Structure 1
Amino acid sequence: MLPRIPFNWPTLVGAEFEHVRTALSRGKLSGNGDFTRRCQALLEERTGAARALLTHSATGALEMAAILAGIEPGDEVIMPSFTFCSTANAVVLRGGVPVFVDIRPDTLNIDETAIEAAITPRTKAISVVHYAGVAAQMDAIMEIAERHGLAVMEDAAQALHASFRGKPLGSFGMAAAISFHETKNLISGEGGALLVNDPELALRAEIVWEKGTNRAQFARGEVARYTWVDIGSSFLPSEITAAFLLAQLEAGPEVTAQRLAAWERYHALLAPLEAAGRLARPRVPQECGHNGHIYFVLVPEAAQRDPALERLAALGVNAVMHYVPLHSSPAGLRYGRAAGPMTVTDELSARLIRLPLHPRLTPEEQARVVRALADVLGPG
């Protein structure tokens, strides 16, 4: 029997153990030490952020972004329904209301043409998700936000080393969240980062990050006393997490290239199945420089998806679905509302299958995945 092909496999790049040993030998294990600062400097260099702050998760980074955006009870934040619950939770935890709009059929990102109709006098911000490391249409979104005086928060959890018209994702909004969860391109098990693009928010972001204290300023000798000055929480990861992450960030361009090569291999192998009408491949607009985070296919009918996943599993291929749209989830119905029809979201989320994709995946395994997919979908 052939070995099972996992959907994801956390991949080491080589220097993780050395960096962790160094962190342990220094006796500084709590957050905001040398490894944290080195990771943050690399992120600032690669994204152009005014300030990068490591967090325990992208969820934490999104919660920080909602604080910095000034989300208050009753404020509305427009976002796609096709996203992870953290995008909405960050708003709900501030007393805000997620307002869900439909997605584009090509990138599965927020439909920028649906945003304006969802704006009300209570709208405070737009939360943009770059699904699969492919950019939302940021030119149009930023123009709408500027015209209506709205903040833009980027959920760039999947989008490190991706771009829109040559500009790094995560560098458009007032702040952006990055994820280093073990399922992402670059990992630290759990982990994330907040990218702060508005220099005027950088100091407050650091205070929120340090539990609402001016501890970082005190450590730099900028204030005489360390005290509580604002709201905040415990968002820092440990130095062990940061040490592990530094190795991953240092190898970021190489890991991204490996994933893109695997993505392109799938795209070529699956072209005949698309031509035969047996599935649809992802479409990446020319202006989007993606990072190979996810390779998904869309089966022709929603009724085919779950049986196909079961049969793939029986053949040793761990393919998976993705989000249940938030507008139809129990919490989404309780805390948010849909603005307009969600036709594309409902249809495509029910037809989507994510294929195994990680740096350890071999060309032979990819060919096996495609053969299995052809087998379970039957003749065209």
Structure 2
Amino acid sequence: MSAPDRSGVRVVLAGGGTAGHVIPLLATADALRRRVPDADLRVLGTSEGLEARLVPERGYPLVVVPKVPFPRRPDARALRFPGALRRAVGAAAGAIREIDAQVVVGFGGYVATPAYLAARRAGVPIVIHEQNARAGLANRLGARFTERVATTFASTELPHATRVGLPLREEIRTLDRAALAEEGRVHFGLDEGRPTLLVFGGSLGAQRINEAVAAAGADLLAAGVQVLHLTGAGKDVPAPDQDPRTGACYRALPYTDRMDLAYAVADLALCRAGAGTVCELAAVGLPAVYVPLPIGNGEQRLNAREVVEAGGGLLVEDAQVDPGWVRGVVLPLLQDGPRLEVMATAAAEHGDRDAADRLVDLVLDAAGADR
């Protein structure tokens, strides 16, 4: 094996399993490469998460670390946990040694805990980024080992926390919605001059939102509103196609790999409140009605709270979302252009496009590198 390139900063980035960990990690890696073109980077991830595909596609070496969930009850998995954790820490330590890493950057998730433990044992500085308003277990542990703790939201409770925002993928960070609007309309087959509702619920969709909007679809089209509905993989949504009188259409797709164009054509989004969604919509100045996932620890409600309080969105409980609510709340909002403009301005003023560079500042400081 050839000797590693030591002319640039040497960084191990750890995070995987979900888009919430992987997308900010890749955005940070890209920002590091922009700032330090000869940076030597390694990414720790699992073999089955999104990172297994996305990291190599982006051109970064992926080091697979065994997935070791924290045991939550005294069962057989808990008995296997110490040995599994040792193996995962060993894999992380190997990646740190391979490039003689100057800093380890963790984004939470299954691989972050082994990375933090391996870095602490090796005496390598740690930088943490917490995506959600409510910190996960891995980052709560890691924050005990470092004073360089970055958060997306000001309300996140972690020791030494500094709000930097959420590192965004490049096509969103640089998005000019007005400049791409026509390309987006052509791409999705939409008309100019119509109010446009963008509906989505993540890669798997949001069933309650899907059903409510589809059932109210005829009323939206009759009012001249066009709908771009990303239903989620495997979700069949029986929605109308086009209103014969107004000509407004309903475009239902399982997903798109051009969310930049979807944001560009929309006047309002109706969606869940994952941290990535909230931060992307605010950054590009797209007002939204956020419907937090009704299960889990309530983090999605916290994620949306700040932009809603700033006037850039509305928050509604999942149980309220039905066809009548779409007709009575969402439709009038889409017809109120001045209010949407005010909300868009508030969202953009609250949003943040420079989080990746601020996080890179912390990483380079930890590595002792010149900026």
TM-score, normalised relative to structure 1: 0.28
State the structure with bigger RCO (CA 8 A, min sep 6), 1 or 2: 1
TM-score, normalised relative to structure 2: 0.28
